Amino acid sequence: MAAIASVSRIRAAVILLLFTLLQSLYLLAFASTNVHIVYMGERAYDEPELVQDLHHGILSDVLGSKEAAKTSILYSYKHGFSGFAAVLTHSQAKLIAGYHGVVRVVPNRILSLHTTRSWDFLKVKPQMVDGILSKSHSGIGSIIGVMDTGIWPESESFKDEGMDEVPSHWNGICQEGEMFNQSNCNRKLIGARWYIKGYEAEYGKLNTSDEVEFLSPRDAVGHGTHTSSTAAGALVKNANSIGLAQGLARGGAPLARIAMYKVCWATGGCSSADLLAAFDDAISDGVDVISVSLGSPPPLPSYVDDALAIGSFHAIARGISVVCSGGNAGPYPQTVINTAPWILDVAASTIDRAFPTVITLGNNQTLVGQAFYTRKKASEFQPIVPGDEIAAADADEDSARSCDLGTLNPTLARGKVVLCFQSRSQRSATIAGISVRNALGSGVIFAQSPTKDVTYPRGIPSVFVDLTVGTSILNYIESSRAPMVKFNHTKTTIGQQIAPEVAYFSSRGPSSLSPSVLKPDIAAPGVNILASWSPASSLESPGNNQNKLPPLNFKLESGTSMACPHISGVVALLRAVHPTWSPAAIKSALVTTASVTDEYGQSIIAEGAPHKKADPFDYGAGHVNPNKAMDPGLVYDANVADYIRFLCSLGYNNTAISLMTKIRTSCHASTKFLMNLNLPSITIPELKHKVTVSRTVTNVGPVNSVYRSLIEAPAGSFVTIEPSILSFNSTTKKQKFKVTFISQLRVQGRYSFGYLIWEDGVHVVRIPLIVRTVIHYSYSDT
Ligand SMILES: *[C@@H]1O[C@H](CO)[C@@H](O)[C@H](O)[C@H]1NC(C)=O
Ligand SMILES: *[C@@H]1O[C@H](CO)[C@@H](O)[C@H](O)[C@H]1NC(C)=O
Ligand SMILES: *[C@@H]1O[C@H](CO)[C@@H](O)[C@H](O)[C@H]1NC(C)=O
Ligand SMILES: *[C@@H]1O[C@H](CO)[C@@H](O)[C@H](O)[C@H]1NC(C)=O
Ligand SMILES: *[C@@H]1O[C@H](CO)[C@@H](O)[C@H](O)[C@H]1NC(C)=O
Ligand SMILES: *[C@@H]1O[C@H](CO)[C@@H](O)[C@H](O)[C@H]1NC(C)=O
């Protein structure tokens, strides 16, 4: 039994998704943990030293001596909240769980990681006089804390030319380490720290013989450099990736500051004990926004067992916005992660930049794919062969057809372009590219369901086609005696592709943990995003040491990892415009102004299903619209007390919640508040007959305003609102209303979608309504 359990644990760890699609290949975590996080909620004392003494006291008591406690403890969390991480046996952990003041003892978990054009596409442009960039002074004064793989400080995106003094609310440090010292921080990169104790307690000392890595905030992977420069990179002229997507690169908030918290390591994943230490520091360092492009796949831990949910709860309580990526496990339902209601959870969308590439077959037929083929001249004709025709002796045909790793025979592949088709188990063009490259092929054509994502393997010409084009090529190969193909070089086009669409890989709702909280919240660009990269990255060429690829300073990447820092950048801008707004108000402003149509007024489409109109489980309330978010009219605000009532209604124990927040609560488990949390969305996962929920809106627009309601009821339900008109004046700033849903179905329903809009003639405040009717048992026995 033990063996089976550990095999399934390994499998669970292996499917952890790095949020950048490319990197999911290389970070495999095999965790069997003895590190535990002892979470004790809000601090009992203001002085960090006293909080730490308390931790040492408990640990000494359980372990029998002060010395044992000293060697066992990894972190004392004492700034933003109270708790510690320590190496404990199972029975010691159980013992500690019974101690006064302990909320939860949680085993360490291993998490994984999940621009130029994108900001113009979002109309975050310096030229717009009334735009959010000018109104926020490019986010000056905001500090974005990024928890990721570190940062490459020499990147041009992190130059501090023309930047003012560091904001006075900053308390952080520039922590030294391998190839990183104080002089690597400046007025742009104002802080940097690194956390490895949890990781090393799990895996032993970091072994850098296979991967380049630095024991410091320096980024050896590229992911953290990419996300930071997307959120707040300075202007870089003529940025490009091997000549494509050339243009001015800049982050969303080009004058905001960056603080890097390195919690993820090139050799595999990120430890939750390290992540929680980063939250503890970031809260007291004075960041305004925390950007986290990582997580672990379902089953989702409960909110009090999840380091990211706990850390972000305490951050929100101090007024810090927390933005997370929703995961790359789409297009399947219930795959979305980072679903706590106080988090801003981001889906990925496409932009209007495309990379069309002409493919010419030996019979002179031309077809169009997408590629990053950057040779100056068109290629010569080369032989082309399908992967399954050149399978290695021990490979099965299906794996070879998708060009899975090690399935191709190098003697047969040498010098040929290989045609590969995605399969159920092998959907990655990058894997196909590496596999063909290892088999000494000269190029790869990867046929897959339509997608705009063309994240590419380096070191081999690769063209992406849809299954129709792939099938035409296959038919040509089969009907030709000496099938040949050549590629024309890739062009970069802008504005010739309908966008946005929700990316196929973007994880979908509903939340598997609490379906009454809509997740994801919003979509932002996350496909083929150009941003800075770490030139030290060796991830591109595993087993390819014989021909090292040249270092990259900029790179196109796809993933919800890339979407998340777009929202973090916008939040930094919004906070500069509205410094007094709560994280919930900022989130509401983004959500209620999000777009559900593209520039041509057409509904946004979700990739992954044939021409499916995107729904809230694909993109939350819609696609981010930064300029509109500055002036939302009304906001659905919420504070810590609201989140506590939400936790109460989930059945968390009173004592636990009191400790978590240091606020005396006497909550009783009632499912009512689950749906009454003042979110900018209403989700009724089980509508039987009739449910009434309430919401409160706060006027942040003109003092004297009158809003009228407009409802599109989800199919199968009847919806009423009371009152249907809301008036605001100098004394009435908040108004409460009730929405009643009545089921009209007598069958087990599916989720259906509608919306509620408040309109005053200027502002359109829109929230999604999501309902699933379930059977009325009273009707059933006839
Ligand atoms: C609530 O939690 C505390 C500490 O976690 C525990 O001591 C107590 O027994 C729990 N109470 C109930 C009613 O479960
Ligand atoms: C920091 O490192 C740089 C090289 O990376 C070196 O030139 C400089 O002297 C170092 N500064 C300090 C204060 O150690
Ligand atoms: C590090 O990894 C290499 C290759 O996997 C191995 O040969 C070496 O013994 C390891 N070193 C340590 C200190 O574990
Ligand atoms: C393809 O086009 C080229 C140049 O236009 C021509 O020389 C060649 O004969 C054509 N090949 C076929 C199979 O039609
Ligand atoms: C290849 O690209 C060149 C330059 O953009 C263009 O003139 C030519 O027509 C293209 N060839 C094909 C077959 O599309
Ligand atoms: C604002 O409206 C409320 C109720 O609609 C009313 O009682 C109050 O007198 C109004 N205040 C002002 C300053 O007009």
Whether 6 is covered by a domain: the verdict is: no
Q: Which of 699, 728, 731, 734 to mutate to test the pocket of ligand 6 (most atoms within 8 A of CB)?
A: 731
Residue pair 524/692 in contact by the 8 Å Cβ criterion: no
Residue 207 CA: nearest ligand 3 atom is: 1
Q: What is the pLDDT of residue 296?
A: 86
634 forms beta bridges with 699
Instruction: Give the span between the Cα atoms of 415 and 535, in whole angstroms.
Output: 29
pLDDT at 30 over 60: no
Q: What is the pLDDT of residue 538?
A: 54
Residue 653 CA: nearest ligand 1 atom is: 1
Q: Would the CB of 204 count as within 6 Å of ligand 3?
A: no
Flag the least confident range among 277-281, 585-589, 685-689.
685-689
Residue at a domain's end among 86, 107, 128:
107
Q: Do residue 183 and residue 265 come from a single domain?
A: yes
Whether 667 is covered by a domain: the verdict is: no
Q: Do residue 144 and residue 293 come from a single domain?
A: yes
Q: Would the CB of 363 count as within 6 Å of ligand 1?
A: no
How far does the centroid of ligand 6 lie from the alpha carbon of residue 697, in Å?
A: 17
643-651 long-range Cβ contacts below 8 angstroms, 24+ apart: 643/313, 643/316, 643/341, 643/342, 643/677, 645/673, 645/677, 646/341, 646/673, 646/674, 646/677, 647/303, 647/304, 648/673, 649/673, 649/674, 650/302, 650/303, 650/514, 650/674
CATH number at residue 380: 3.50.30.30
Q: Which helix (H) or strand (E) holds 675?
A: helix 672-676
Nearest Cα residue to atom 10 of ligand 3: 207
Whether 487 is covered by a domain: the verdict is: yes
Residue pair 258/228 in contact by the 8 Å Cβ criterion: yes
Q: Which two tokens stand for residue 374?
A: 């950057």
CATH number at residue 95: 3.30.70.80
Residue pair 683/723 in contact by the 8 Å Cβ criterion: no
Domain, as residue range, for 86: 30-107
Does a cis peptide bond (omega within 30 degrees of 0) precede residue 510? yes
Q: Do residue 378 and residue 453 come from a single domain?
A: yes
Average pLDDT over residues 615-629: 96
Q: Do residue 334 and residue 364 come from a single domain?
A: no
Q: Do residue 83 and residue 115 come from a single domain?
A: no
Q: Which of 653, 654, 658 to mutate to test the pocket of ligand 1 (most atoms within 8 A of CB)?
A: 653
Nearest Cα residue to atom 9 of ligand 5: 488
Q: Do residue 65 and residue 122 come from a single domain?
A: no
Site of tokens 């800049």: 250
Instruction: Give the tens place of pLDDT for each residue, 242-254.
Output: 555 556 667 888 8
Q: Do residue 209 and residue 163 come from a single domain?
A: yes
Residue at a domain's end among 107, 140, 175:
107
Domain count, the chain: 4
**Catalytic residue positions?**
148, 223, 561
Residue 131: band (very low, low, confident or very high) from pLDDT cuts 50, 70, 90: confident
Q: Which ligand is nearest to the CA of 183?
A: 2
Instruction: Give the span between the Cα atoms of 9 and 165, in whole angstroms.
Output: 49
Instruction: Give the tens place of pLDDT for each residue, 647-670.
Output: 888 877 767 776 777 666 666 656
Q: Strand 83-87 and strand 73-77: pairing? A: antiparallel
Residue at a domain's end among 608, 629, 650:
629
660: helix, strand or coil: helix
Q: How far apart are the first and last CA of the chain?
A: 47
Instruction: Give the span between the Cα atoms of 147 and 271, in whole angstroms.
Output: 12
Whether 638 is covered by a domain: the verdict is: no
Whether 154 is covered by a domain: the verdict is: yes
Q: How many CB atoms lie within 10 A of CB 308?
A: 26
Q: Do residue 187 and residue 169 come from a single domain?
A: yes
Flag the least confident range among 121-135, 453-467, 679-693.
121-135
How far does the centroid of ligand 5 lie from the alpha carbon of residue 360, in Å?
A: 10
Average pLDDT over residues 744-767: 91
pLDDT at 544 over 80: no
For the purposes of burial, counting CB atoms within 10 Å of the CB of 169, is it exposed (0-12), middle (13-18) or buried (19 or more)? exposed
Site of tokens 């003012």: 164
Whether 668 is covered by a domain: the verdict is: no
Instruction: Give the tens place of pLDDT for each residue, 551-574.
Output: 778 888 889 999 999 999 999 999
E strands in 563-628 = 605-606, 612-613
Nearest Cα residue to atom 13 of ligand 4: 363
CA distances from 764 to 130, 290, 587, 694, 758 (A): 19, 28, 16, 19, 6
Instruction: Give the span between the Cα atoms of 682 and 592, in whole angstroms.
Output: 12
Q: What is the pLDDT of residue 627?
A: 94
Instruction: Give the span between the Cα atoms of 298 and 755, in whole angstroms.
Output: 28
CA-closest candidate to residue 594, choices 570, 568, 621: 621
Q: Do residue 204 and residue 343 come from a single domain?
A: yes
Residue 26: band (very low, low, confident or very high) from pLDDT cuts 50, 70, 90: very low
Q: Which of 360, 377, 379, 488 to mutate to test the pocket of ligand 5 (most atoms within 8 A of CB)?
A: 488
Whether 15 is covered by a domain: the verdict is: no
Q: What is the pLDDT of residue 670?
A: 61
Q: What is the amino acid identity at position 176?
A: E
Q: What is the DSSP string of 61-74?
A: HHHSSHHHHHHHEE
Q: What is the amino acid identity at position 668?
A: H
Q: Do residue 425 and residue 452 come from a single domain?
A: yes
pLDDT at 502 over 70: yes
Q: Which of 343-357, 598-612, 635-649, 712-726 holds the top average pLDDT?
A: 712-726
Residue 240: band (very low, low, confident or very high) from pLDDT cuts 50, 70, 90: low
pLDDT at 191 over 60: yes
Average pLDDT over residues 761-770: 97
Q: What is the pTM of this model?
A: 0.85
High-pLDDT (> 70) share of the chain, %: 85
Q: Do residue 103 and residue 115 come from a single domain?
A: no
CATH number at residue 262: 3.40.50.200
pLDDT at 345 over 70: yes
Q: How many CB atoms lie within 10 A of CB 666?
A: 8
Whether 9 is covered by a domain: the verdict is: no
Q: Do residue 715 and residue 763 come from a single domain?
A: yes
CATH number at residue 719: 2.60.40.2310
